[in-house]
Amino acid sequence: MALSACGSAVADGSSGQTRAGDVLSYAIPVVTLGAELLRGERDGALQYTEALAVTLLGTEVLKSTVHAERPDHSNNRSFPSGHASRAFSGATYVHRRYGLESALPLYVLGTYVGYTRVQTHRHRWADVAGSAAVSAAASWWLVQPRSDQRLVVLPEIGPHYVGVELAASW
């Protein structure tokens, strides 16, 4: 359903794209949570709910403290994008819980949501990237990879380094 909404929006022009971005920003979290519940993954559903709540709270705190003016000059709540935070919350959750390959379609959709926000001059790409970072931080903090994962890739950020930790099981 989400892909068909995205595809039809491109044909409709920018107002259709805006509408598709709006819908996807809510649909991605709902579908992510619904999929976990349908699979019987109650632990995953709880972890996603927590990560989504922290993402939304972090986004609102940053909007209220950073005071970045929107490109359309409508207000000073541009950073980070709430739409992109919601959209990327599903992608970063799936990435952390199930791996990058499973999350790639959600990252594409999250990026599309960000694109719709940039195209309407409501945000800059830095606002979208900030949203992805807030979502990733919440997911890496609160979500545990499934125990049957064979390879887990964990980003590490320190005061003087950025790295990647690999954990493998066989």
pLDDT for 127-143, tens place per residue? 999 999 999 999 999 99
End-to-end CA distance of the chain: 37
What percentage of the chain has pLDDT greater than the value 90?
75
Averaged pLDDT, 119-129:
96
Place of tokens 């989504």: 52
Closest CA to 138 of 25, 47, 31: 47
| pLDDT value at residue 16 | 87
* Cβ–Cβ < 8 Å for 24, 113: yes
| pLDDT value at residue 99 | 94
Tokens of 72: 């359309």
For residues 129-167, one letter each, b for 16 or more C-beta atoms within 10 angstroms of the residue's C-beta and e for the rest, the string is bbbbebbbbbbbebbebeeebeeeeeeeeeeeeeeeeee
Written as one letter, the residue type at 8 is S
